Structure formats: structure tokens, C-alpha cells
Structure 1
Amino acid sequence: MILTARIAEHDLIPFDLLRQKHFPQDRNFLRAHMTMFHRLPGEYVGRIVESLQFVAKETRAISARLAASVILYPAWHSQLKALS
């Protein structure tokens, strides 16, 4: 199970352009995205979803800025830093 963040459409545009330019076209079938957790244990999907729904209800949207960006084949990795 992979958890990604929801990103506003207007914020995705520059990342989509970078992805189209640098990511192998034969593997470029997703829009730009931010993976928060990779390989969450699928056998706990119920508990994970329940916890995330609770946190999402209690948490406002997070504003962030791009802190760093680098191409690490096969992906473009960006570091986001939350704004206070």
C-alpha cells in the first residue's frame, strides 16, 4: 500500500512538466505525485485507513515549499518543507 498526498492542481503543473521532461516516457503513466509512505503493510489496511481518516478530520491543509529537488533515477525526488 502506498500513501500519497493530495496536491492542488495549480501546484502540480510545474512538477508534471518536469516529470514529462525527465521521466522515461514508457513509464510515465501517472501525474506528478508526492509519496508519503511506500510499502505500508497491506494486512493492516483497515487500521491504517481508520487512523488516516481520523487525522485528516483533525488536521488542516499543510502549506509547504520546495526545499530541494534532484533526479535520482528512475524518479525525480523533491523535498518539501512545511510552512509555519
Structure 2
Amino acid sequence: MADAPLILTLGFDPESFAFLDGMRRRHFPAERNVVPAHLTLFHHLSGEKESDVAAVLSAVTRDVAPIPLVVSGLRFLGRGTAFEIAAPRLASLRRDFADRWRDQLTPQDAAAFRPHVTIQNKVPAGEARATFEALRAGFEPLEATGTGLLLWRYRGGPWEEAGAFPFGAA
């Protein structure tokens, strides 16, 4: 189905992904946790332009070196918690894509980019606050690496893989 919206996320090095996904499995309500830990760059690109999007991703990522990231802090979401990610090179790459796809961005995707990985969401506010405070008490920044971009189709349930575009794959 070509009209399924596309989601673009960042791929992580295996160790960082294991940590982030483990935290998500520990804190996210199991019945709602249908996708792995992820950092979303775009929430809704046109599925009708999937081949064009994939061609752009393939061309751009082959010339991009893996991107250093820092899990720099925690963000309280009201009903959940996220790890904030500091990554100037990722922000620049995302800005380039946003400029390229400006005419098809939703308001959410056109808004300021605040990179994060949600590890808990849609829980009662008290539980969310307790998780945030517990994690904040022992938080230490963590270095990670962005290894490429992952494209997904959204059809209402778990995401469906639509492509992987590793950095530096020239």
C-alpha cells in the first residue's frame, strides 16, 4: 500500500541500542510497546513518494560518516520520560532533509527538532514522575553513535521495515 505514511528514524550502534531498547522494555507499558527504541527524525513522510525518499536517503547517507551522539539528559513528558540526545551533526543532517522535503512536512515535522528517545509514555502522571525522578537521580551521560537511517511504513500497528541506509556505505 503506497499511501502508508513513512517514518524516518536513526539507527544506533548495537550497545547503545541494547541499552535504550532495554530501558524502553522496562518502563513502557508492554501492551503499547509495539516498536523498538527509536529516535524519530520525521513522523510522517508521504508513502506515495517512498521510492523518491529512499533514493535521497541512499544518495545522502553514503557520504555521511557515523554520527557521534550524547545521551545528555532526561526529559519529563508529563505521562512518560525520554532521554535527550545531543547531536549537532544529526541536527544539521535533519535540517537539510527538512529543507529538501519542506513542501510535504506535517506541522509536527516542520517544528523544531528536539532529538530524544522515549522510554516511557502513556502511563499515569504519578508513575511517570516517579520513573523520571528515579532515573534522574542516577543519570550519567552516555556516548553513542548514529550508524544510519531507518525507513518504516506505518499502517496503524507495529512499523513495517521499508529500508536501511547505513552511513558511509559508499
TM-score by length of 1: 0.80
Q: Which residue of the other structure, out of 59, 62, 65, is the alignment partner of 2:67?
A: 62
Which one-letter code corresponds to 1:70 in the other structure?
R
**Paired AA for residue 73 in structure 2:** A
RMSD of aligned alpha carbons: 2.2
TM-aligned CA deviation for residue 64 of structure 1: 0.6
Q: What is residue 31 of structure 1 aligned with on the other side?
A: 36
| Further displaced range: 71-80 or 56-65 | 71-80
Q: % of aligned pairs identical?
A: 27
Question: In the alignment, does 2:31 pair up with 1:13?
Answer: no
Rg (Cα) greater in structure: 2
1:10 and 1:25 mapped to 2: Cα distance?
22
> Structure 1's 7 and 41: CA in aligned 2 closer, same or farther, altered over 3 A?
same
Out of 29, 48, 67, the residue aligned to residue 53 of structure 2 is 48
For 1:17 and 1:71, the matched residues in 2 are separated by: 19
Gaps of 5+ in 1: none
For residues 6-65 of structure 1, the C-alpha deviation after alignment (integer angstroms, 9 at most, x for no partner) is 111101122122212221111223321221111111122121111111111111110110
Which consecutive aligned stretches of 4+ in structure 1 deviate over 2 angstroms post-superposition? 67-79
> Does structure 2 conserve the Cα–Cα contact (< 8 Å) formed by 1:65 and 1:83?
no
* Matching residue's letter, 1:66: V
Q: Would you say how many aligned residue pairs link Structure 1 and Structure 2?
A: 84
Specify the SS of the correspondent of 1:39: strand
Which one-letter code corresponds to 1:82 in the other structure? A
- TM-score scaled by length of structure 2: 0.43
- Structure 2 gaps, min length 5: 1-5, 90-170
Q: 1:75: how far off?
A: 5.8
